[in-house]
Chain A
Amino acid sequence: MFNSLKAARSLIPLCIFLILALVLYQGLKQDPSLLPSAMVGKPVPKFKLATVNDSNQFYTEEIFRGKISLLNVWATWCISCRMEHNFLNKLAADGSIQLIGLDYRDRLAAVEQWQHALGDPYKYDLFDEEGRVAIDLGVYGTPETFIIDPQGIIRYRHVGIIDQAAWENDLLPVIEKIRGRG
């Protein structure tokens, strides 16, 4: 009796080690660069921005009213944006959702080249030269994509490239949920 108690007690360090190992192993799988957004559930911040193609044409947050929109924060210097651009072109061709681009800290000459070479999926090409609207959106890197409902509320934020898998697993379910209610 006494011996088995002693044996059980000697297993305690092993148990602690296993629990710790499990916790730390879970930690390894997390990507520390993925941060939760504080903006989900809040309305799109107020803005007034020109487009990349016309510095006299201004738009405000009103463009989000009445439609489900995808707000894609991108830049020509962002390699990942180049990688997801094709998929965005496909989404635009499909036409089921309004795509709005927010060009972040960019040079217009580079944007013109980009549009020429890779196409332009956005209905509105907003130009955030100084990154002010990006700060209001809590953006910390490109690409970031927000799903915004017809009431102008941010419903989801996706960090990183949108591809078929991310679209089907992460973004489409949110959009379908909004559609179901609206």
Chain B
Amino acid sequence: MLRKFILISCIYCCSIFAASDNYTFADPKQQQLFVNLTQNLRCLVCQNQNIAESNAPLAQDLRREVVELINANKSETEIIEFLVSRYGEFILYKPEFNQHNYLLWLGPGIMLLIGGFICFRTIRQQSQVET
């Protein structure tokens, strides 16, 4: 029982934000937008944390900036544009598809095709040997 409890609490730990400051919004939609945005924006100081989790001063400032933009009724795309125009695409955990990163986006698919082709050929050759 205890082990089960510890295991489950370990899993839930991952989804709790570490950020210390709390922002509340009147509109639950805005709250949701804030959560979505901050979870998908990279903190540029500690690059493997998003700005929702990071306690770096820059992440605090960026959270404040996002809150102000949301309160100014900016849309999600407008806020993302605002940040990308200053910090570049690097701030996005899910960057746009463009000529710089097309290999990263398409790479897995290409690899799968190559691997699939080799697999297919090997299996066919082997089955020919057997028959």
Contacts and interface: CB of A to CB of B under 8 A. Distances in A.
From DSSP, what is the main secondary structure of chain A's interface residues?
A: loop
B88 A140 contact: no
A35 B88 contact: yes
Interface string B53-85: 000011001101100000000000000000011
Interface string A26-42: 00000011011111001
A141 interface: yes
Given A32-B47, A33-B47, A35-B44, A140 B57 contact: no
A92 B65 CA distance: 34
B17 interface: no
Contacts of B84: 38
Nearest to B60: A131
A37 B88 contact: yes
A135 B44 CA distance: 11
B117 interface: no
A35 B88 CA distance: 9
Interface string A104-148: 010000000000000000000000001110111110110000000
In the A-B complex, the 9 residue pairs with the smallest Cβ-Cβ separation, listed nearest first, are A140-B44, A38-B88, A138-B86, A131-B61, A138-B87, A35-B90, A135-B65, A140-B58, A105-B57
Given A35-B87, A36-B90, A105-B57, 10 more contacts: A38-B84, A38-B85, A38-B87, A42-B85, A131-B58, A132-B65, A135-B61, A138-B88, A141-B44, A141-B58
Interface of B: 44-45, 47, 57-58, 61-62, 64-65, 84-88, 90
Interface of A: 32-33, 35-39, 42, 105, 130-132, 134-138, 140-141
